[in-house]
């Protein structure tokens, strides 16, 4: 069985966020979208070493998206 590989798929927990406003570089209207995600897997662990569950991941994603939303809006070409 040399040379065979196995692909394992883990469930994804995702949160989509959007922010609108004036670009802080050029001043024109700007809208940005971002997908934040993590997988439910034995490798995604808490600080105590236990695997994260769906609710723990979702809470972390909400924190990440709120940090991203608090940053200034900027066009991709203005970055």
Res 2: pLDDT: 72
In order of 8, 24, 36, 54, 66, the CA distances from 29 in angstroms are: 42, 10, 23, 35, 20
Using a cut of 0.85, tell me whether the model's pTM lies above it: no
Residue-range domain boundaries for the chain: 11-70
Say if residue 67 is exposed, middle or buried (CB neighbours under 10 Å; 0-12, 13-18, 19+). Answer: exposed
C-alpha–C-alpha distance, residues 4 and 2, integer Å: 6
Spans in the chain with pLDDT lower than 50: none
Tokens 């236990």 sit on residue: 50
Res 1: pLDDT: 55
Tokens 């723990």 sit on residue: 56
Res 63: pLDDT: 97
């Amino acid at each position: 069985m040399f040379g065979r590989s196995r692909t394992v798929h883990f469930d994804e927990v995702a949160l989509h966020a959007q922010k609108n406003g004036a670009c802080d570089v050029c001043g024109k209207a700007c809208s940005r979208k971002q997908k934040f995600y993590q997988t439910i897997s034995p490798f995604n662990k808490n600080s105590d070493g236990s695997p994260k569950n769906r609710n723990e991941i979702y809470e972390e994603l909400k924190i990440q998206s709120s940090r991203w939303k608090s940053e200034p809006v900027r066009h991709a070409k203005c970055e």
